[in-house]
Structure 1
Amino acid sequence: MIWIQFAILLVAILIGARMKGIGLGVMGMVALMIFVFVFRMAPADPPIDVMLIILSVVSTAATLQAAGGMEYMVRLAEKVLRSKPSLIVLIAPLTTFVFSVFAGTAHITYSLLPIIAEVSTKKRIRPERALSISVIASHLAVTASPISAATAALVSILGGAISLPQVIMVSIPACLVGILCGVAVCWKKGVELERDPVFLEKMKDPEFAKSIDLDTSASREPLKPGAKTAVAIFGLAVLLIVMVGAFPKMLPTFEPGHANLAINNLGNIKMAAMIELIMLSAAAAIMIFTKTTAESVSKASLFTAGAVAVISVFGVVWMSATFMQTNQAIIESALGNMVRSAPWTFSIAIFLLSMLLFSQAATTQALAPLGLALGISPAHLVAMFPGANGDFVLPGYPTLLAAINFDRTGSTHIGKFLVNHSFMIPGLVAVGMSVAAGFFFASILL
C-alpha cells in the first residue's frame, strides 16, 4: 500500500512542477484528498509556521523593494561586480550569496543576473561560468539565512537543542566552502566565449554585436528618497532576529502549559513567532518612515512570489507530512539501521526530496522530524541542512530559467537530456561539499 501512496505523491509533485506557479500546492492538495478519502489517512498538522514565516519575510522584502531599498542594494552589488570584471566567476556568487542571506530569499538574484551576464560578456568570459554558480550560491544562501523559512523551520523542529545563531554559525561557513568549490569547477567550464560557435554565429548580426558592448549602467532613474532608510531598517530587523536567537532571555516568558502557535509548553515565545513579529514590524517602520504605500507593496514582484511560495508549501508539505506520519513506522524500519550506522546517508534522502519539492523549507519541514525519529543528532541534522538545495537538478526553478534567459550569448543552457544543463555540475559539487563541510564545522562548533 505504501508504494501506491508514494506513487500518488510523486505523480502529484511531477504534475505540479510542470504546471509551475501554484501548481505544486494545488496538486499537493489533490493528493491529500486522495490520501484522506480513499486511503483514510489522518491529515498531519498543516505547516502554519512555515507559511507565516514566508508570508512575513517576503512581505517585508516586498516593502523594501517598493521603498527602493532593493534597487539601492542592487546598485551596490553592481559596483562590486564591475570593480573586478576579470574575477566575475568568483565575485558574482559571493555577492549573490551575501545578498540572498540578507534578504532571506533567492528571488533577489533576478536583479543581479543580468548584470553578471553583461559584465561577463563584455570581458569575454563565458557567462555560463559566473551565472551557473551564482544561481547555486543564491539557493545555498537560503539554508544560511537567519530569516529564511527553512532555517526557522529547522530551529523550531530541533526544539531548542540548537539555537538559531548556532545553526548559521555552521551553515554560513559550510555553504561558503561549497560555493568556493563550485567556483573552482566553473573557472574554466566550457569553451572560451570567443571560440564558442553559438556566440560567434550571433556576433555576425551587427545589431547584436553592438548591443553586447553597450553601456547600460548609466541609464537609470534616481533612487527613491527612502531607499537607504529602508535598507537600514531591514538590516536592523535581521540583526534583532539574530540577537533574539542568541539571547532568548531577552524575551518575556509566560505561564507554562498553555502552548499555542506562538508559545511553547514552557511559556517561551517560539522563534518562528519572533521572526514574524519583527519582520512585519519592520515592514510597518519602512512604510511609515519612507512614506511607502501599502498598494505599492502589494504590487511588488516579491509579494507575488511570496504568495506563490505560500500556496506551494501549504499543499506539498501538508501532503508529504501526512504520508510520512502515516508510514513513519515502515520508513523508520527501512532506513533506521543504515542511518544509525552512517548518519550522512540521510542527507541523500534530503537532497532527493528537495529535487521534487523545489523548496528548502518544504523539504526541511517534511524530513527533519523523521531524522530526529531515526535517532540522528541535532548537530548532524544541522550539518546536512545544505543538502536541502537539490532544487536545481530539474531545471524548472525560476532562478535557473532567468539565468538562461539573461545570457544572450547562449552559453547558459538546458541540455538535450534535460538534466545535462549548466547548473548540474556546479550544483552537485557545491551542495555536496557544503554538507561535507557542515559535518566538519558542526563537529567543532556544536
Structure 2
Amino acid sequence: MVWIEFIILLAMILIGSRMKGIGLGVMGMIGLFIFVLLFKMRPTDPPLDVMLIILAIVTTAAALQAAGGLDYLVGVAEKIIRSNPSQITFIAPFTVFFLCLFAGTAHIVYSLLPIISEVSAKKRIRPERPLSISVVASHLALTGSPMSAATAALAAILVYPGASLDIMKVCIPAGIIGTLAGAFAVMRMGKNLEDDPEFQEHMKDPEFRAWIEGKGKSGEQSAEKEIKPGAKLSVLIFGIAILLIIMFGAFPSLIPNVGTGAENFAVRADGSLKMGTIIEMVTLSAAAFMMLLTKTTPAQVTKASLFTSMAAAVVSVFGVVWMSSTFMAHNEAGLKHALGGIVQAQPWTFAIAVFVMGALMFSQASTTKTMMPLGLTLGLANPTLIAVFPAVNSDFVLPGYPTLLAAINFDRTGSTKIGKYVINHSFMIPGLVAVSTAIAVGFLIGSIIL
C-alpha cells in the first residue's frame, strides 16, 4: 500500500512541477484529497509557519524593490562584474551569491544574467561557464541567508536557541566554498567560444557580429537606471532588519519573555517567542519603515514583481508540503524501519533523499519543511541536518526552474542549453559539484564548531 501512496505523491509533484507557478500547490491538494478520502490518512497541520514567513520576507523584499533598493543593488553588482571581465567566471557567481545572500531571493539574478552573458561573450569567454555557476550560486546562497524562507523554515524546525546563527555559521562558508568549486568545474566546460561551430554560425549574422564587435565593449557600463531617491535608505533599512534577525538568533536573551502559558503558534510554553514570530515582526516592520520613510505607497509594493511571485510560492508550499507531511506522518513507522538504520549509520545518505525530493519539488522552503522533520524523526542530530541543508538546492536537476530558463534565453551565443537527454544540460556539472562540495564542507565545519 505504501508504494501506491508514494507513487501518487511523486505523480502529484511531477505534474505540479511541469505546470509551473501554483501547479505544485493545487496538485498537492489533489494528492492530499486522495490520501484523506481513499487511504483514510489523518491530515497533519498545514505549513502555516513557512507560509507566513514567505509572506513576510517576500513582502519586505517587494518593498525594497518598489523603493528602488533592488535596482541600486543590481547597479552595484553590475559595476563589480564589469570591473574585471577576464575573470568573470569567478567574479560573476560570487557577486550573485552575496547579492542573493543579502536579498534572500534568487530571483534578483534575472537582472544580472544579461550582463553576465554580454560581458563574457564580448570578452570571448564562453557564456555558459559564468552563467551556469551564477545560477547555481543564486540558489546556494538561500541556504544560509537570514532573509530566505528556507533558512527560516529550518531554524523553526530545529527549534533550539541560536539555530538560525548555527545555520549561517555552517552554510554560508559551505556555500562560498561550494560556489568556488563550481566555478573551477566550469572553467573549461564546453569548447572555447572561438572554436564553437554554433558561435561561428552566429558570427555570420551581421547584427550579431555588430553586437559582439560594435559599440558595447566588455568593460563599458550599460545605460544606468535612474535610482529612486529613497533607494539607498531602503537598502539600509533592509540591512538593519537582517542584522536584527541575526542578533536575536545569536542572543535569544535579548528577546523579552512574555510569560508562561499554553503554547500557541507564536509563543512557546515557557514564554519565549518562536523564531518565525521574530522574523515576521522584524521584516514586516522593516517594510513599513521603508514605505513611510521613502514615500513608497502600498500600491507600489503590491505591484512589484516579487510581491506577485509570493502568491505562487505560498500556494505551492500550502499544497505540496501539506500533502507530503501527511504522507510522512502516516508512514512514519515504515520510513523509520526502512531508512533509520542506514541513515543513523551513514548520516550523509540522508542528503541523497533530500536532494532527490528537492529536484522534484522546485522549492527549497517546501523541501526543507517536508524532509527536515523526517530527519529529526530518523534520529539525526541538528549538526547533521544543517550540514545536509544545501541538498535542498537540487532544483537545477530538471531544467524547468525559471532562473535556468532565463540564463538559457539570455545567452545570445547559444552556448547555454538543455542537452539532447534533458538532464545533460549546462547547469548539471556546476550544480552537482557546488552542492556536493557545500554538503561535505558543511559536515566538516559542523564537526568543528557545533
TM-score normalised per structure 2? 0.97
Contact 1:162/1:379, CA 8 A, preserved across alignment: no
Quick one: distance in 2 between partners of 1:367 and 1:307? 23
- Residue 281 of structure 1 is matched in structure 2 by 285
Distance 1:341 1:161, change over 3 A: farther
1:326 maps to 2:330: yes
Deviation at 1:360, TM superposition (A): 1.1
Distance (whole Å) between structure 1 residues aligned to residue 145 and residue 75 of structure 2: 21
2:229 alignment partner, SS class: coil
Q: Residue 38 of structure 1 aligns to a residue in which SS?
A: helix
Question: Kindly, what percent of the aligned residue pairs are identical?
Answer: 60
Who is 2:98 aligned against?
98
Note the alpha carbon deviations across 1:95-140, whole angstroms, 9 max, x for none: 1110111011111111111111111111110000000000001101
**What are the superposed Cα offsets for residues 170-201 of structure 1, whole Å, 9 maximum, x if unpaired?**
00111111111101111111101111111111
Shift, 1:146, TM fit: 1.1
For 1:33, the equivalent position in structure 2 comes to 33
The aligned amino acid for 1:128 is E
1:195 has 2:195 as partner: yes
How many residue pairs were aligned? Answer: 446
Cα distance in 1 for partners of 2:8, 2:296 equals 45
Contact 2:178 2:438 in 1 (8 A): yes
- 1:242 alignment partner in structure 2: 246
Does residue 398 of structure 2 align to residue 394 of structure 1? yes
Distance 1:51 1:214 in 2: 47
* Equivalent in the alignment of 1:232: 236
Structure 2 Cα separation of the partners of residues 58 and 119 of structure 1: 30
Match for residue 167 of structure 1? 167
Q: Distance in 1 between matches of 2:112 and 2:270?
A: 44
Which residue number in structure 2 is paired with residue 147 of structure 1? 147
**Alignment map for 1:434-445 (pairs within 5 Å):** 434-445=438-449
Cα distance change of structure 1 residues 102 and 221 upon mapping to structure 2, 3 Å threshold: closer
Q: Describe the shift of the 1:161–1:340 C-alpha distance in structure 2 as closer, same or farther (beyond 3 A).
A: farther
1:371 to 369, 372, 375: 375
Separation of aligned partners in 2, 1:340 and 1:220: 54
How many angstroms apart in 2 are the aligned matches of 1:141 and 1:92? 14
Which residue does 2:67 correspond to in 1? 67
| Pairing partner for 2:268 from 264, 273, 276 | 264
Q: CA 1:82–1:4 in 2, change beyond 3 Å: closer, same or farther?
A: same
Name structure 1 gaps, 5 residues minimum: none
Alpha-carbon distance change, 214 to 314 in structure 1, aligned in 2, over 3 angstroms: farther
Unaligned runs of 5+ in 2: none
> Contact 2:67 / 2:296 at 8 angstroms: preserved in 1?
yes
The equivalent of 1:208 in structure 2 is 208
**1:272 & 1:40 partners in 2: Cα distance?**
32
Compared CA separation, residues 244 and 161, structure 1 to 2 (3 A): closer
Q: Given that residues 79 and 221 in structure 2 are in contact (C-alpha distance below 8 angstroms), is that contact kept between their aligned partners in structure 1? A: no
Report if the CA contact (8 A) 1:125-1:192 is conserved. yes
Match of 1:430 in 2: 434
Report the CA distance between 1:163 and its aligned residue.
2.0
Q: Distance in 2 between matches of 1:402 and 1:218?
A: 19
Q: Which moved more, 1:211-220 or 1:262-271?
A: 211-220
1:319-364 CA-partner distances (Å, limit 9, x unpaired): 1000000001000100011011111111110101001111111111
1:295-334 to 2 correspondence within 5 Å?
295-334=299-338
Is this contact kept in 1: 2:82–2:221, CA < 8 A? Answer: no
CA contact (8 A) 1:104 1:146 kept: yes
Report the Cα distance in structure 2 between the residues aligned to 1:261 and 1:113, rounded to whole angstroms. Answer: 40
Q: 1:220 Cα deviation (Å)?
A: 3.4
User: What SS does the corresponding residue of 2:380 show, helix, strand or coil?
Assistant: coil
Tell me the distance in 2 between the aligned counterparts of 1:396 and 1:45: 30
- Tell me whether 25-34 or 366-375 shows the greater mean CA deviation: 366-375
Root-mean-square deviation (CA, aligned residues, Å) is 1.1
How has the CA–CA distance of structure 1 residues 161 and 247 changed in structure 2, closer, same or farther, with 3 Å as cutoff? closer
**Runs of 4+ in structure 1 displaced over 6 angstroms?**
none
- Aligned equivalents of 1:373 and 1:27: distance in 2? 26
Q: Give the deviation of 1:91 after TM superposition.
A: 0.6
Give the aligned partner of residue 10 of structure 1.
10
Deviates more, 1:263-272 or 1:215-224: 215-224
Which residue does the alignment assign to 1:292?
A: 296
Q: Residue in 1 aligned with 2:413?
A: 409
* 1:63-121 deviation line (CA, Å, top 9, x unaligned): 11111110000000001000110110001110111011101111111111111111111
The amino acid across from 1:356 in the alignment is L
CA distance in 2, matches of 1:315, 1:222: 40
Counterpart Cα distance in 1 of 2:92 and 2:335: 41
Q: Is contact 2:75-2:224 (8 Å) kept? A: no
Could you tell me how far 1:214 is from its partner in structure 2?
4.1
Counterpart CA distance in 2 for 1:145 and 1:265 is: 28
| Whole-angstrom CA distance in 1 between matches of 2:253 and 2:283 | 20
